[in-house]
Amino acid sequence: MSTGLERQPAVEVTEDELEAIVGDRALARDDHLNAPGFVIRPDDVQDVLKDLRDEAGFDHLANLTAQEYPDRYESIYHLRKYADPTQEVSVVVPTTTDEPVSQTAEPVFRTADWHEREAFDLVGIDYEGHPDPRRILLPETWQGHPLSRDYDQEKPQLVTLTEHANPIQPDHHDDESDTMFLNIGPHHPATHGVLHIETVLDGETVVDVDPDIGYLHRCEEQMCQQGTYRHQIMPYPDRWDYVSAGLLNEWAYARVAEDLADIDVPEYAQVIRTMGAELSRIASHMLALATFALDVYGDFTAIFQYGMRDREVVQDILEDLTGQRLMFNYFRLGGVAWDLPEPREEFIEKTRDFLDGLPAKVDEYNDLLTANEIFQIRTHDTGILEPEVAKQYGCTGPVARGSGIDYDLRRDDPYGYYENLEWDVVTKDGCDNYSRVLVRMQEVEESAKIIEQCLDLLEDWPEDERTVQSNVPRTLKPDADTEIYRAVEGAKGELGIYIRADGTDKPGRFKIRSPCFHNLSALPEMAEGEYIPDMIASLGSLDIVLGEVDR
Amino acid sequence: MTGTTVAATDAASGLPAVPLQDTVLLPERIGELTGLDGFGLGGELLATFLAAFLIGNLMLAMTGVAGPWAKRKITAAFTDRIAVNRLGPAGLFIIVADSVRLLSKELIIPENADRPAYDLAPIVVAASALLGFAVIPMGSGLHLADPEVGLAYVFAVSGIASLGLVMAGYASANKYSLLGGLRAVAQNIAYEIPLVITGMSVVIFAGTLQMGEIVAAQHETLVEIAGISIPTWYAFVNPFAFVLFLVANFAEVGRNPFDTPEAPTEIVAGYQTEYSSVHFVLIYLGEFLHIFLGGAIIATIFLGGPAGPVLPGIVWFIIKIWAVFFATQWLRSAVPRVRIDQLIEIGWKGLLVLSFANLILTAVIVGLIA
């Protein structure tokens, strides 16, 4: 398929070249485990990021971590390349404690908009020149910044409801124009959770969209910072993308912690992980398809129920494997909790049965959904997300691949057992809602291929070599000031975690890079100028889970 | 008038005469049976009222079955589920439970609601549909009135529903309701014209607007295949008009794929967002009545009204309108909703043109034959 964005082999940029690009703007080096890091002055941010983007090809601002040290604040811009995510560079921007002001990166990477708002909200760094310096996750009247060092968690938030700006304010209507302000959500049938979209309408046309998030903020980062590496953090990832992608999320933590503490994972466990993760992906994509159909069809229709029916089978298989239906807590650092359930043959047989039935079901979906003419006129050329725009917003996963961006961490930044298996990355260049649906549909088939191969391997694995966990110390204490960012391909895209170790058995800073957070921030680009129904469809095609957006 | 029924005979097919239609209307029969016709105008009025009461309750009972029970069961059958099955045989008693539940809910009226309009809207929606049934010949003697302008009357009263939807939309003081109300008007205007124009093509065939006559005109034999005679139902005579009418009708009653006025995922519930308890029941009832009225019009002008072998007329009639109801539920389960602009485009650029083409074609054909 010609995407116009053919996958170019990324130009390898050596560290020397990087140093040359950053030049004497680099105050020092602050290398992370995953990438070289450059410390720069707070007023060089835009310059350096722009040069790295344009001259070295780092076009993906994967994440922005903000944190406070005893003597300084620090913003870390994690850059990667869409063409080759193994090439990474971190830009570290320290600011003083007295005056934590740093230049905004928003003009270079649009996605910095939301990230810097979050950094301001939780840590308390001000970004100079930011176009929209509001809080993002917490209410606008919140006192203090919860992840800053001097924040008193015991102090009650004594702000009465009346002091809040009323989100259901009567109107944004001005006499000049004929627009109408409409609150979609937080209680609305199509927002897939508690999302509030402030919309300005001109008749049926959407003029302005502003997603308001944070209703489901549960301090996940903070909770992970209070848990020990070995066991106490693993249950939390299940709660980020809670709909069914639990194992994929767990892998994000497992990968970053294993790389941080240098833990090996037995090959056998990697195969089980790969299989479980792909089952989770199927379950998650089934739900995405079903709810997208719900948004376009408008009722609990056949296709929605079929999606739930088929997801149920996957859920049963995962329950057999992990003992849980949603909150699996099955991965362990260095492997998985236990082997396949006994009797083994029965489990493998059951999974095979599901895979055998899958092509017929996919055909059925194609009949009902993608081949339906009304469905096509509803989804073709709506919710357009151009690849360059998608990159600006850091979109990943099926959303990026539906815009023709050939980016899949399973292949590009390999982990687990994916390298040794035969499968393809699905991309479509339609950039519209239809493409995103199609990508998910075909990814289900690709996942099925992966599971099939894993089952073959597991079936023939010699009985005395079935090690599910390597030896991992009871207490993990990575060296102080080691920092790492690692990501896996979650169901919605690049699910990454940044950890800074502080020498104890708990992370000093634990930052989650949520794919839904980035994908949702691109909604205004897709929806403005279109009709309300198309905005709803676009929102559905992004497949957001608010648990992951708000964390 | 005397109480004798005139049985229409089907001479062409040679089948035994089937009692097709009573020329005696229901109020007259009731008057005769109860002796009320001896009391002059007052008695006649009372008899008419009794007849209307009977027919109204029959229709309300059908919506009562359709809303809480049949709709669930049909949708469940399409989506691999079972639906209600705990109360009574096949869960039928859920109708009682649901009625109690709905009526006992709190009636919440928005602060800024435009009161008389807000309260009247549900009544207008439900009543306009009920009025339409007055001229529908349902067979087995169930026919309230048979005015010469029957068909025009049905279209006119069912059109009043649009007024109710607009009232509900703006009086609720809710932006979603307003959007829904506006959509409802845009949609009803766009689809009422093709609906009426297509109905006219039937009028050209039948040469009359009188419902009884239209039904009678569909009783000849079109063709006979292996001893089974296909009657001249206008659905067989002019399938094109039938399909046009069916599509326009789905849009008119606001069912999938044309359910944009309430579009749950877009504008929550459209014009009925702010209605609760009894108000909600009335609006919902009105919607179902409109589906059945649509079915009744289709049955009457395209499917031979109450005609059918063996079973009594009313049974056939109910089967036919339930078939239309079933079709709406089928579409609801299987067809995506079109966008509002696409819906208007289909209405004005597609159906309207096609319905005029159909009208002219019919006129030419009828002119040539006659």
Domain boundary among A107, A128, A149: A128
CA distance B321 to B107: 32
Interface residue B336 vs chain A (CB under 8 A):
yes
Tell me whether residues B336 and A189 touch, CB distance under 8 A. Answer: no
CA distance A112 to A304: 35
Q: Which residues of B touch A375 (CB under 8 A)?
A: 336
Residues 6+ apart with CB under 8 A from B253: B287, B290, B291, B294, B328
Q: Which residues of B touch A309 (CB under 8 A)?
A: 80
Interface residue B2 vs chain A (CB under 8 A):
no
* CATH number of the domain where residue A120 is located: 3.30.460.80
Q: Which of A182, A374, A536 sits opposite B336 (nearest CB)?
A: A374
Average pLDDT, chain B: 82
Whether residue B332 is predicted with pLDDT greater than 60 in this model: the reply is yes
Interface residue A533 vs chain B (CB under 8 A):
yes
Tell me whether residues B336 and A378 touch, CB distance under 8 A. Answer: yes
Chain B closest CA to A544's CA: distance in Å? 16
Q: Which residues of B touch A533 (CB under 8 A)?
A: 260, 263, 266, 337, 339-340
Cα A32 to chain center, whole Å? 21
- What's the average model confidence in pLDDT over B337-361? 88
Structure tokens at B135: 């001229």
Residues 6+ apart with CB under 8 A from A114: A136, A517, A518, A521
Tell me whether residues A297 and B266 touch, CB distance under 8 A. Answer: no
Report whether A420 contacts A411 (CB < 8 A). Answer: no
Interface residue A304 vs chain B (CB under 8 A):
yes
CA distance A510 to A501: 9
Report whether B318 contacts B59 (CB < 8 A). Answer: no
pLDDT tens-digit readout, B158-176: 888 888 888 888 888 888 8
Give yes or no for a cis peptide into A186 (omega within 30° of 0). yes
Tell me whether residues A374 and B259 touch, CB distance under 8 A. Answer: no
Chain B closest CA to A407's CA: distance in Å? 31
Interface residue A204 vs chain B (CB under 8 A):
yes
pLDDT at A46: 87
Report whether A400 contacts A408 (CB < 8 A). Answer: no
Q: Is A467 helix (H, G, I), strand (E, B) or coil?
A: coil
Q: Which residues of B touch A289 (CB under 8 A)?
A: none
More confident residue, B36 or B368: B368
DSSP, res A156: -
Q: Which of A301, A377, A534 sits opposite B334 (nearest CB)?
A: A301
Domain of A117, in residue numbers: 15-128
Q: Which of B79, B266, B332 sits opposite A536 (nearest CB)?
A: B266
pLDDT at A274: 92
Question: What was the ipTM of the complex prediction?
Answer: 0.76
Interface residue A454 vs chain B (CB under 8 A):
no
Give me the half-sphere count of Cα atoms (radius 13 Å) on the Cβ side of residue A253.
Answer: 32
Bridge partners of A531, per DSSP, are A205
CA distance B264 to A106: 36
DSSP, res A203: T
Question: CA nearest A539: which of A50, A195, A153?
Answer: A195
- Residue A287 inside a domain? The answer is yes
For the full predicted model, state whether its pTM sits above 0.90. Answer: no
CA distance B190 to B248: 9
* In A154-266, alpha helices (H): 220-225, 246-261
Q: Which residues of A touch B75 (CB under 8 A)?
A: 300
Interface residue A182 vs chain B (CB under 8 A):
yes
More confident residue, A278 or B256: A278
Domain boundaries, chain B: 26-369
Residues 6+ apart with CB under 8 A from B211: B135, B136, B137, B146, B150, B151, B154, B300, B301, B305
Choice among A15-24, B99-108, B333-342 with the minimum mean pLDDT: A15-24
Q: Is A515 helix (H, G, I), strand (E, B) or coil?
A: helix
Give yes or no for a cis peptide into B257 (omega within 30° of 0). yes
Q: Which residues of B touch A531 (CB under 8 A)?
A: 339-341
Report whether A438 contacts A402 (CB < 8 A). Answer: yes
pLDDT at A497: 92
CA distance B281 to A342: 54
* CATH number of the domain where residue A328 is located: 1.10.645.10
Give me the half-sphere count of Cα atoms (radius 13 Å) on the Cβ side of residue A291.
Answer: 21
Hey, what amino acid is at A123? Answer: V
Q: Which of A305, A532, A534 sits opposite B81 (nearest CB)?
A: A305
Q: Which of A299, A533, A534 sits opposite B332 (nearest CB)?
A: A299
Q: How many helices (H) and strands (E) does chain B have?
A: 15, 2
Tell me whether residues A375 and B339 touch, CB distance under 8 A. Answer: no
Encode chain A (551 residues) as per-residue pLDDT tens digits.
444 444 556 677 777 777 777 777 878 888 888 888 888 888 888 888 888 888 888 888 888 999 888 888 889 999 888 888 888 888 888 888 888 888 888 888 888 889 999 998 888 888 888 888 888 888 877 888 888 888 888 888 777 767 766 655 555 556 666 777 888 878 888 777 788 888 888 878 888 888 888 888 888 888 888 889 888 898 898 888 888 778 899 999 999 999 888 888 898 899 999 999 999 999 999 888 888 888 887 677 778 888 888 888 999 999 999 888 888 889 988 888 888 888 888 889 899 999 998 988 888 888 888 888 888 888 888 888 888 899 889 899 899 998 888 888 888 888 888 888 888 888 888 888 899 988 998 899 999 999 999 888 888 888 888 888 888 888 888 888 888 999 999 888 899 999 998 888 888 889 999 999 999 999 988 888 888 888 888 888 888 888 888 88
Chain A closest CA to B370's CA: distance in Å? 41
**CA closest to B332 among chain A residues:** A301
pLDDT at A7: 57
Interface residue B337 vs chain A (CB under 8 A):
yes
Chain B closest CA to A366's CA: distance in Å? 13
**CA closest to A304 among chain B residues:** B79
Structure tokens at B72: 């669930």
pLDDT at A498: 92
- Residue A449 inside a domain? The answer is yes
Total domain count for chain A?
Answer: 2
Q: Give residues 368 to 407 of A whose Cβ lies within 8 Å of B.
A: 368, 372, 374-375, 377-378
Q: Which of B265, B330, B349 to mutate to test the interface with A (most CBs of A within 10 A)?
A: B265
Q: Which residues of A touch B260 (CB under 8 A)?
A: 533
Report whether A30 contacts A39 (CB < 8 A). Answer: yes
Structure tokens at B232: 């001249």
Pairing label, strands A72-80, A205-212:
unpaired
Whether residue B9 is predicted with pLDDT greater than 70 in this model: the reply is no
CA distance A387 to A26: 31
- Residue A472 inside a domain? The answer is yes
Helix B352-369 to helix B239-252 angle (10° resolution) is: 150
CA distance B6 to A420: 84
Q: Which of B75, B257, B265 sits opposite A190 (nearest CB)?
A: B265
- Residue A71 inside a domain? The answer is yes
Q: Which residues of B touch A189 (CB under 8 A)?
A: 264-265, 268
Chain A closest CA to B257's CA: distance in Å? 8
Chain B closest CA to A302's CA: distance in Å? 5
Structure tokens at B195: 């609906």
Chain B closest CA to A284's CA: distance in Å? 20
| Phi-psi domain of B306 (left: phi exceeds 0; alpha: psi -120 through 50; beta: other) | alpha
Hey, what amino acid is at A251? Answer: W
Query: Could you tell me the strand order of the sheet in which A483-489 lies?
Result: A483-489, A494-501, A507-513
Q: Which of B334, B337, B340 sits opposite A204 (nearest CB)?
A: B340
CA distance A290 to A304: 4
Chain B closest CA to A180's CA: distance in Å? 9
Whether residue B13 is predicted with pLDDT greater than 80 in this model: the reply is no
Question: CA nearest A297: which of B257, B262, B336, B340?
Answer: B336
Pairing label, strands A494-501, A126-128:
unpaired
Whether residue B324 is predicted with pLDDT greater than 70 in this model: the reply is yes
Q: Give residues 259 to 288 of B whose Cβ lies within 8 Å of A.
A: 259-260, 263-268
Residue with structure tokens 């009722």?
A299
Tell me whether residues A533 and B332 touch, CB distance under 8 A. Answer: no
Residues 6+ apart with CB under 8 A from A300: A294, B75, B79
Tell me whether residues A531 and B339 touch, CB distance under 8 A. Answer: yes
Question: CA nearest A259: which of A86, A420, A377, A398?
Answer: A86
Question: CA nearest B265: which of B368, B176, B359?
Answer: B176
Report whether A157 contacts A182 (CB < 8 A). Answer: no
Q: Which of B177, B266, B333 to mutate to test the interface with A (most CBs of A within 10 A)?
A: B266
CA distance A17 to A39: 16
| C-alpha torsion sign, points A225, A227, A228, A230 | negative
Q: Which residues of A touch B81 (CB under 8 A)?
A: 305
Tell me whether residues A531 and B341 touch, CB distance under 8 A. Answer: yes
Q: Which of B80, B176, B338 sits opposite A374 (nearest CB)?
A: B338
Hey, what amino acid is at B225? Answer: I
Q: Which residues of A touch B173 (CB under 8 A)?
A: none
Interface residue B34 vs chain A (CB under 8 A):
no
Interface residue A306 vs chain B (CB under 8 A):
yes
Interface residue B338 vs chain A (CB under 8 A):
yes
CA distance A213 to A520: 10
Q: Which residues of A touch B266 (CB under 8 A)?
A: 190, 298, 532-533, 536
Q: Is A243 helix (H, G, I), strand (E, B) or coil?
A: coil
- Residue A76 inside a domain? The answer is yes
Whether residue B19 is predicted with pLDDT greater than 70 in this model: the reply is no
DSSP, res A43: G
Tell me whether residues A306 and B338 touch, CB distance under 8 A. Answer: no
